[in-house]
Amino acid sequence: MTDEAQRIAVVFNGEIFNYRELREQLQERGHAFVGRSDTEVILRGYQEWGEKVVSKLLGMFAIGLWDAKAKKLLLARDRYGKKPLFYSHKEEELSFASELEALLAAEGGIPEISEEGFASYLRYGYVPGSDTVLPQVLQLRAGHLLQWQAGKFQQTTFGDAPVYRSRVMKDGEFLHQLDTRLQAAVEARLISDVPLGCFLSGGIDSSLVVAYARKIYGPKLKTFTVSFPGTMRDEGDYGRKVAEILGTDHHTIQIEAQDMEKHYIETLQRCPEPLGDDSFLPTYFISRATRRYVTVALSGDGGDELFGGYPKYRQIRVAAALHPFAQFMPAGLLSLLPDRWAKAGELAQAPAEWSRALWLSSLWKESELKLVLEKPLTARKGQTFFKIEWEKHKRASLEERFAMTDVATYLEGSILRKVDRASMAASLEVRAPLLDERILDLTVTAGVRDTALGKRKGALRTLLSRHLPLEIFRGAKRGFGLPIDEWFRGGLRVALMKYTDAERLRKGGLVDPQAVARIRDDHLSGRRNYGRKLHALVAWEVWREKAGL
């Protein structure tokens, strides 16, 4: 979109959820609007506030804005990194795109692969920070603004980052504020010109979002629960029960595990960049099935990071207590222990809080990377990035530091990336009310993250109890994980052998084929479970093959 004088041009991917309020402010300041889109609000906002407009936007977005008069390019990405934005710079030319493959095509020829980027990918299942797996391509960090003028870069954060404080708000006031902000966040994300619904998975987060959405939207609200018939992950009965109590237009989507296994490689090929999270597959299948009914779906993403839902936030404290004893454990003893106990021992042996958090956040552990990578030292950059994020929150408690580090690493790099790529591959737009910026600000600055309300989703449970009996939610936390370990020993064994073939890996030059073969054989024999790690390597090889690298 351009302005009347052809001075300003805007390209935009995403949604601005407070565009109506901003539009009113701009009209009061004398701006005339041609249409009613949020893109025009960005354009008029730049005319009024300049680059400060991005700090006023609430939503999910990747923006490119060209100011012809100033000969200046602005790139901006939303605060959590819900939408991707890649760029590359060569001499006096800058290219940017929403997909890594677009810049790969623009480069021409066969580009190099970043050894450090690949090492980070293998460690985490994604590449954190501004790096990618291509040395000439960078990704704009969440909440960052890049200005490019006369061939020079200036990159800054926009908006004020929330600062952790000791407790400053009582429980009642915190719950009132959270209730008000969550209702506003859900209401803003229910605005749509196309059919809309909500995911209703097996947990507190999505059920709370549905409860608020049903109150606002009414009984015509469509909800979707995934059923994996005959498995422990079948949430069909749960979804029907919640939907019946809340009174929604409910749909149960059945997905056969055999279908995902059958289309495993084909589904991986739909991801526009390497992504090691195996839950990309069910997320894509769920999105594809939901898309038959609606174009937009609300999800419960973000609840675990903001309200202490992950078991690892408790595991890290247990590991700290065990460290004085575990550090004296003989190195060779761990290899003799059963898989689960060997992992627990390795975690407890990690020497510092941040290194234990890194261990819990890593897919391939440090000891494994040293064996598998052709150049183990390339793994240091990804490790350093994690430590830098960890050190930003020195005033916070152990669990709080871990959660805030997760927001900058795991949430941005894996969770939101997976949901965006999988849903977009199915032409479904997913919106996450719990990741409204105002909710993050509240959870951090109110100082209740270390109380009962801030741990194990205490605040969310309290709000949900006003709508549903909490007895429904007693039981193990569910997720979208796959029996990938079993598949590799069964129907996907041929695919595993193909993509971990020694000659293939030798040509790639990034991993030691013999080390991979030993790990693969240990998995196939049942001695160890390396299913998720091997999946990340297969996903990498599938992407590399598709990209022609």
Q: What is the 3-state secondary structure (H, E, C) of 280-301?
A: HHHHHHHHHHHCCCCCEEECCC
* End-to-end CA gap in the chain: 35
Q: Is residue 490 part of a domain?
A: yes
With beta carbons less than 8 A apart as the criterion, state whether 161 and 110 touch. Answer: no
Listed residues 426, 446, 473: the one ending a domain: 473
In the chain, the amino acid numbered 140 is L
Residues 189 and 72 in one domain: no
155 beta partners: 146
Q: How far is Cα 413 from Cα 80, in angstroms, rounded to an integer?
A: 10
Convert the pLDDT of each residue in 356-381 to its tens digit: 999 999 999 998 999 999 998 888 88
Q: Is residue 457 part of a domain?
A: yes
What pLDDT band is residue 475 in, cutting at 50, 70 and 90?
Answer: low
Determine the length of the chain: 549
In the chain, the amino acid numbered 384 is T
Residues 280 and 178 in one domain: yes
| Chain-centre distance for alpha carbon 258 | 26
Q: What is the pLDDT of residue 255?
A: 82
What's the domain range around 526? 483-549
Residue 444 has pLDDT above 60, yes or no: yes
Residues 495 and 454 in one domain: no
Residue 476 has pLDDT above 50, yes or no: no
With beta carbons less than 8 A apart as the criterion, state whether 73 and 65 touch. Answer: yes
Query: The whole model's pTM is what?
Result: 0.91
Q: How far is Cα 369 from Cα 350, in angstroms, rounded to an integer?
A: 15
Instruction: Please state the φ and ψ torsions of residue 282, each to the nearest 5 degrees.
Output: -65, -30
Residues 287 and 406 in one domain: yes
Residues 276 and 257 in one domain: yes
With beta carbons less than 8 A apart as the criterion, state whether 158 and 170 touch. Answer: no
Residue 96 has pLDDT above 90, yes or no: yes
Q: Is residue 346 part of a domain?
A: no
Q: Is residue 508 part of a domain?
A: yes
Q: How far is Cα 185 from Cα 436, in angstroms, rounded to an integer?
A: 6
- DSSP3 helix / strand / coil % (the chain, rounded to 5): 50, 15, 35
State the sign of the Cα–Cα–Cα–Cα dihedral 352, 355, 360, 366: negative
348 beta partners: none
Q: What is the DSSP letter of 8?
A: E
Three-state SS string over 459-511 comes to: HHHHHHCCCCCHHHHCCCCCCCCCCHHHHHHCCCHHHHHHHCCHHHHHHHCCE
429-431 vs 296-298, strand pairing mode: parallel
Tokens of 549: 């690298």
Tokens of 393: 């929150």
Answer with the residue of higher pLDDT: 374 or 165. 374
SS3 56: helix
Listed residues 426, 444, 473: the one ending a domain: 473
Helices vs. strands in the chain: H and E counts, helices first: 26, 13
Based on the structure, what is the number of domains in the chain? 3
Listed residues 426, 451, 473: the one ending a domain: 473
- Nearest CA among 233, 232, 227 for reference residue 256: 227
Q: What is the pLDDT of residue 336?
A: 58
With beta carbons less than 8 A apart as the criterion, state whether 309 and 387 touch. Answer: no
Residues 89 and 16 in one domain: yes
Residues 30 and 72 in one domain: yes
Neighbours of 463 (CB within 10 A): 19
- In this structure, what CATH number is given to the domain that contains residue 147? 3.60.20.10
Q: How far is Cα 421 from Cα 427, in angstroms, rounded to an integer?
A: 10
With beta carbons less than 8 A apart as the criterion, state whether 123 and 363 touch. Answer: yes
Convert the pLDDT of each residue in 480-530 to its tens digit: 567 899 999 999 999 999 999 999 999 999 999 999 999 999 999 998 899
Residue 164 has pLDDT above 70, yes or no: no
Average pLDDT value for residue range 46-52:
96
Q: Is residue 192 part of a domain?
A: yes
Residues 83 and 200 in one domain: no
Q: Is residue 46 part of a domain?
A: yes
Helix (H) or strand (E) holding 252: strand 249-254
- In this structure, what CATH number is given to the domain that contains residue 277? 3.40.50.620
Residues 228 and 150 in one domain: no
Residues 178 and 280 in one domain: yes
Residues 193 and 294 in one domain: yes
Residue 542 has pLDDT above 70, yes or no: yes
Residues 27 and 82 in one domain: yes
With beta carbons less than 8 A apart as the criterion, state whether 40 and 34 touch. Answer: yes
Q: How far is Cα 156 from Cα 140, in angstroms, rounded to an integer?
A: 11
Q: Is residue 324 part of a domain?
A: no
Helix (H) or strand (E) holding 236: helix 236-246
Q: Is residue 14 part of a domain?
A: yes
What pLDDT band is residue 38 in, cutting at 50, 70 and 90?
Answer: very high
